[in-house]
Amino acid sequence: MWDFFEQAWTLLGAAVILLFVVLTVRSVWPERRRLWQWLLPLGAAALALGLDGAVATDLEKINGMVKAGVRAAEQEDCAAIARLLSPDYSDSYHQSKEAIMSRCRNRLVPPAIAKVRKIASEVKITAPEAVATFTVLMQFEKNSYWAQNYKPAAMVIMQFYLRKQPDKTWLIRRAEVLEVDKMPVNWGVTKDNSGRYRWISNATPSAQRQSQNGECHCRERSDEAFSISRVGDCFASLAMTYPSV
């Protein structure tokens, strides 16, 4: 259904049409000219601008939430990130909001992220649900672990599943990491007792052998999963390091 609040700028088009109608009427029938006729296009234009400025659309609210998440990541502020997650949050690796926030507090320790820049975005809204996919460039602090062991920046693609709350705000109910530097990854990387990074799912036999031998095999992966032996050599583990951007 057409929504004035979501399509406020369409009213500007109606205002232009009304202006042409008024001009036509005043030129064809001069005797019917009235000053109040100018109020019709002016009123429609004022209503459009007022609705756009006074009422935030769902897309604007979602983009605002993303900006808040970016600021929180840059400031290593896990409390701010927690405010963006719904109470029933869960994803393919974290079973609860408490689980992902525990990982955030353990991993998002300064110095970490210097700046997060959004490169591309796609938001699909079917209220009360929405899916947002963002490609961001993460620039790391010069003294951070990742800048010293990999490179100063990485391109990350993340997908967020959002739900509209009773108070009309949007919260993240699920977040998944899709790619890091064009390499498919997800949350399922974990560190075992030996300090190696392993995939928690069933890796291929070849991948398991390489992990046991302490070799890096980022180039070899299956549709299910792969394991990572050294985070310094296999930067895909970054995907599970930051729970939100």
Residues 124 and 196 in one domain: yes
Q: Is residue 145 part of a domain?
A: yes
How many structural domains does the chain have? 2
| Residues 154-207 pLDDT 10s | 999 999 999 999 998 999 999 999 998 888 888 865 333 344 444 444 334 444
Residues 124 and 236 in one domain: yes
Residues 36 and 105 in one domain: no
Residues 64 and 48 in one domain: no
Residues 44 and 121 in one domain: no
Residues 45 and 95 in one domain: no
Strand ranges inside the chain, DSSP E: 113-126, 129-140, 153-164, 170-180, 183-184, 189-191, 197-199
pLDDT the model gives residue 56: 59
pLDDT the model gives residue 2: 46
Residues 21 and 41 in one domain: yes
Residues 21 and 131 in one domain: no
Residues 42 and 134 in one domain: no
156 to each of 71, 79, 181, 227, 243, how far by Cα in Å? 16, 22, 6, 19, 12
Residues of the chain predicted below pLDDT 70: 1-9, 11, 48-56, 188-245
Q: Is residue 178 part of a domain?
A: yes
pLDDT the model gives residue 35: 82
pLDDT the model gives residue 205: 43
Q: Is residue 1 part of a domain?
A: no
Q: Taking all residues of the chain, what is their mean pLDDT, rounded to a whole number?
A: 75
CA distance 191 to 106: 13
pLDDT the model gives residue 149: 80
Domain containing residue 34: 10-54
CB within 8 Å of 203: residues ≥ 6 apart? 211, 222, 224, 225, 226, 227
CA distance 71 to 245: 8
Q: CB of 234 within 8 A of CB of 198?
A: no
Q: Is residue 82 part of a domain?
A: yes
pLDDT the model gives residue 167: 92
CATH number at residue 154: 3.10.450.50
pLDDT the model gives residue 52: 56
Residues 134 and 177 in one domain: yes
| Residues 192-226 pLDDT 10s | 334 444 444 433 444 444 444 444 444 433 333 33
pLDDT the model gives residue 6: 52
pLDDT the model gives residue 180: 87
Q: Is residue 230 part of a domain?
A: yes
Residues 39 and 62 in one domain: no
Say how far residue 113 (Cα) sits from the centre of its chain.
16
